[in-house]
Structures are given as structure tokens and as C-alpha cells.
């Protein structure tokens, strides 16, 4: 019987991990299945561009994994039973159940409403494909002078606000920040950011916590009313409750608690990667939700799965966070380096050079997903064999 590896989610972490596993494990002895609700690979880092009206080509996951040996199951995960080692799914083929020997949980995250009244009913977001398309349609229907408010001063909020303002200069775009805009950047990078906002005509409401969203406005904590025919909510992300509901040990925010190899501390048959994992980086701090973290945690998880399955020493791969790369429209960007304590250094790169670098990062990430096995090598490793194959399963 083949060793069954199930990967939940085909985002940056899940798609990369599945391809890496297929590249390094023998298909004669292992069966790799990816479960994903959408038929396409979604470049989440570009969804604000899609919402602003750019035409993006999406890769079909069936094409991505064609010839790789990876099985694709288009379905939504409805539950995980780590005691029985099964995953419950529902999709076009109806309800079903997948059994696994090792599970890699990479379901990512979605927008966090934080219980703010009106967000679920009236706000838009760019955290997923369907929501980005919904926002695209709404923005396209706004006439000249229409008001757009982006809530949240993180990377997503900044990229969304600048993209909207550049793509639709006829709109009145504003951003609401709980604190100071770009407070976490170095002084020079912060100045660059403010100059970009001024150039694009974006109004900034600093020290403004939005506590309610209505159809045509947002209400701040101090009672102020901010006009907004469209409110775009980018005030953080939340993970799916499936992990917590399954009995895996999670943090207070629902992220899966793992050891240094991305293995669940409560269930050794389960690994996690991407936004859903609470991973401690090499600096002793939790890695932030990001594409960079998805890559590093997926690399560590797959290396550990392969090593344990094939009877080799588990390698320790790097879990470093080097900095923040922020698009400011199509022709401007900021690349801010951080030190070992995740604090911004004095060095940063801005302007067209940074924008070209960011475009290269996006292109490279897309190419990596489109070529999941990077060319299958002639020799792939086989699971360890012995008198007690079940022992290998338990140890994996």
C-alpha cells in the first residue's frame, strides 16, 4: 500500500510543498493528493491589482500538476479528524473522505472582521479571488468623484490604496490608519511612502480606528464619519477554524502550534505551513503571515516529511524574515530591510528599481508554482522499508 500524503490548500505554501514532495519521493511508493476549493492557482499578492481592473491570467491547477504525479481534488475541506487520520471534503463530486498517513495543513487565511459591525455586510476585501472580483465590479461601477476608503495601514492596505488611486485617478481614495502611516518603516522609507501618497492624491486619516461600516460611510472610534461609497477592509487576516475544531493545538488566534520542523506539537502525523502555522523564526519571533513565510515554512515542512519518511536526519532550513516589499502602484515600490529583531534598518530601496524588483518577485513566484517539480530528477527517494512498515508511518 502506498504511503498517503494529503496537502490541504494549493496556495503559495501548499502548491510549492506538493511539487517539492512529488519531485523528491518515489511515485511507486507514495501518493500525494492536493485538496483545493478553487480550480485555479490564485496569486494572492496580486488580487488588489485584479480588483483595480488589471486583467490577470490564472493558471489551472490541473495544468500545474499535470505530469507531476500529484493528484488534485477540487473540494472544500469541511473537517479534519486527526485521530482517525481522515479529511472530510465536499465539492462537485459530493461529500467524501480522504485518508492520510501524513497531512500538510496549508489552508491559508481570510480577512479578519474583528467583530466590527457592518464589515461583513457592507465592506469589500482582497483576501480571496471571489471577494476581489466582487470589489472589481463595484469599483468599475463608481463614477468620477466616487469615494473609496481603505481600512488598514499594513502591506495589503497600502498596496490596495495606491493601486486604486493610480488606476482610477478620478476617484477620491483615502486610507484609515489606527496609528501613524508607515510607522514601522525607516525614516527615509516613511518619507518615500508619504510622498507617494501625496503624489497619488490619497487622503490619510491617521490615528483613526474604524468601529462601524455603513453603506456609504465608516464611523471612527471618536464618532467622526468618513465618506465611503466603497469600504475596503484590510485590517488583518484570520485563519480558518478547522484546525482548532479538529483538536490540533492552536494559538489563541487559531494558528497551528508546531515545532522547529513544522510538525504539530499535538499530532505528529500533521504538519503545517503558510499563514495557518504559528512558526517561530530564527530571530525567536513568530513569522508574519506573508508569501515569504509561506515559502520558508513549506520548505521546512517538506524537508522534514521527506527525511522522516525515508529514514534520514531531519534538516533544519532557514526561517528568516528579511524585509517588506511594498508596491506603490505600477511604477513605484519600497523594499525595507529588517534586522534580526524584525526592526527596520536604515537601508531601503525605493522607486522604479524597487518596483521592478517586486515585479520580478511576483513573476518568480508565479513561475515556481507553474513548474511545481522544477523538472523531475531521475532518482527519487523511496520510503524506508523494514519488518514493520507501520512503524515508519507512525514516525513520519
Average pLDDT, the chain: 92
Per residue in 161-193, pLDDT (tens digit) is 999 999 999 999 999 999 999 999 999 999 999
Of 27-31, 333-337, 338-342, minimum mean pLDDT range: 338-342
Please list, in sequence order, all residues whose beta carbon lies within 8 angstroms of the beta carbon of residue 387, skipping any fewer than 6 positions away: none
Question: Does the pLDDT value for residue 391 go beyond 50?
Answer: no
pTM of the model as a whole = 0.91
User: pLDDT: is 372 or 279 the higher one?
Assistant: 279
Q: Is the pLDDT of residue 384 over 90?
A: no
The residue among 182, 183, 189 whose CA lies nearest residue 158 is 182
The pLDDT assigned to 362 comes to 87
* pLDDT interval class at 375 (50, 70, 90): low
CA distances 270 to 231, 275, 369, Å, are 38, 15, 23
Instruction: Give the mean pLDDT of 227-243.
Output: 95
The alpha carbons of the chain give a radius of gyration, in whole angstroms, of 22
pLDDT at 320 over 60: yes
3-state SS class at 46: helix
Confidence (pLDDT) at 393:
44
Kindly state the percentage of the chain with pLDDT values over 70: 95
CA-CA distances (angstroms) from residue 321 to 23, 212, 235, 280?
Answer: 26, 34, 21, 11
Contact in structure between 114 and 120 (CB atoms under 8 Å): no
The pLDDT tens digits of the residues spanning 60-115 come to 999 999 989 999 999 999 999 999 999 999 998 789 999 999 999 999 999 999 99
Q: What's the pLDDT score for residue 323?
A: 86
Between 8-12, 56-60, 164-168, 230-234, the lowest mean confidence (pLDDT) is in 56-60
Q: What does the pLDDT read at residue 395? A: 42
Specify the pLDDT at position 274: 96
* Residue whose C-alpha is closest to residue 338's, from 348, 330, 351, 328: 348
Q: Is the pLDDT of residue 154 over 90?
A: yes
Residue 199 has pLDDT above 70, yes or no: yes
Residue 270 has pLDDT above 80, yes or no: yes
Query: What phi and psi values does residue 122 have, to the nearest 5 degrees?
Result: -120, -20
Distances (CA, A) of 47 to 51, 58, 116, 171, 214: 6, 11, 23, 19, 24
User: Quick one: pLDDT band at residue 389, thresholds 50, 70, 90?
Assistant: very low
Model pLDDT, residue 380: 64
The yes-or-no verdict on residue 386 having pLDDT over 60 is no
Average of per-residue pLDDT across 340-357: 91
At residue 370 the predicted structure's pLDDT band, cuts being 50, 70 and 90, is: confident
Mean pLDDT of 128-143: 97
Alpha-carbon span 121 to 283, nearest angstrom: 40
| Tens digit of each residue's pLDDT (9 = 90 or more) over 248-260 | 999 999 999 999 9
Amino acid at each position: 500500500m502506498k504511503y498517503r500524503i494529503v496537502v490541504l490548500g494549493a496556495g503559495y505554501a501548499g502548491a510549492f510543498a506538493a511539487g517539492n514532495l512529488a519531485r523528491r519521493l518515489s511515485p511507486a511508493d507514495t501518493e500525494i493528493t492536493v485538496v483545493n476549493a478553487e480550480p485555479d492557482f490564485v496569486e494572492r499578492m496580486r488580487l488588489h491589482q485584479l480588483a483595480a481592473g488589471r486583467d490577470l491570467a490564472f493558471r489551472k491547477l490541473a495544468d500545474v500538476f499535470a505530469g507531476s504525479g500529484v493528484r488534485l481534488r477540487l473540494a472544500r475541506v469541511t473537517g479534519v479528524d486527526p485521530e482517525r487520520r481522515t479529511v472530510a471534503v465536499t465539492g462537485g463530486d459530493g461529500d467524501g473522505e480522504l485518508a492520510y498517513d501524513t497531512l500538510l495543513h496549508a489552508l491559508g487565511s481570510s480577512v479578519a472582521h474583528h467583530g466590527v459591525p457592518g464589515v461583513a455586510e457592507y465592506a469589500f476585501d482582497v483576501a480571496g479571488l471571489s471577494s476581489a472580483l466582487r470589489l472589481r465590479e463595484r469599483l468599475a461601477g463608481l463614477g468620477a468623484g466616487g469615494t473609496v476608503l481603505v481600512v488598514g495601514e499594513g502591506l495589503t492596505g497600502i498596496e490596495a490604496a495606491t493601486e486604486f488611486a493610480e488606476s482610477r485617478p478620478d476617484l477620491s481614495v483615502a486610507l484609515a490608519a489606527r496609528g501613524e502611516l508607515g510607522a514601522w518603516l525607516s525614516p527615509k522609507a516613511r518619507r518615500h511612502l508619504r510622498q507617494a501618497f501625496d503624489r497619488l492624491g490619497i487622503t490619510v486619516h491617521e490615528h483613526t480606528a474604524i468601529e462601524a461600516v455603513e453603506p456609504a460611510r465608516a464611523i471612527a472610534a471618536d464618532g467622526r464619519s468618513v465618506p465611503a461609497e466603497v469600504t475596503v477592509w484590510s485590517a488583518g487576516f484570520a485563519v480558518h477554524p478547522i484546525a482548532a475544531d479538529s483538536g490540533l493545538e492552536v494559538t489563541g488566534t487559531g494558528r497551528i502550534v508546531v515545532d522547529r520542523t513544522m510538525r504539530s506539537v499535538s499530532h505528529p502525523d500533521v504538519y503545517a505551513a503558510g499563514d495557518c502555522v504559528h512558526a517561530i523564526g530564527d530571530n525567536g519571533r513568530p513569522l508574519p503571515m506573508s508569501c515569504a513565510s509561506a515559502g520558508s515554512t513549506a520548505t521546512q515542512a517538506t524537508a522534514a516529511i521527506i527525511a522522516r519518511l525515508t529514514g534520514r536526519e531531519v534538516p533544519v532550513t532557514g526561517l528568516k524574515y528579511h524585509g517588506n516589499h511594498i508596491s506603490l502602484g505600477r511604477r513605484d515600490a519600497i523594499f525595507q530591510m529588517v534586522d534580526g529583531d524584525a526592526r527596520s534598518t536604515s537601508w531601503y530601496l525605493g522607486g522604479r528599481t524597487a518596483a521592478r524588483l517586486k515585479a520580478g518577485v511576483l513573476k518568480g513566484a508565479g513561475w515556481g508554482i507553474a513548474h511545481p517539480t522544477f523538472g523531475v530528477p531521475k532518482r527519487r527517494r523511496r520510503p524506508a522499508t523494514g519488518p514493520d512498515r507501520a512503524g515508519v508511518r507512525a514516525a513520519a
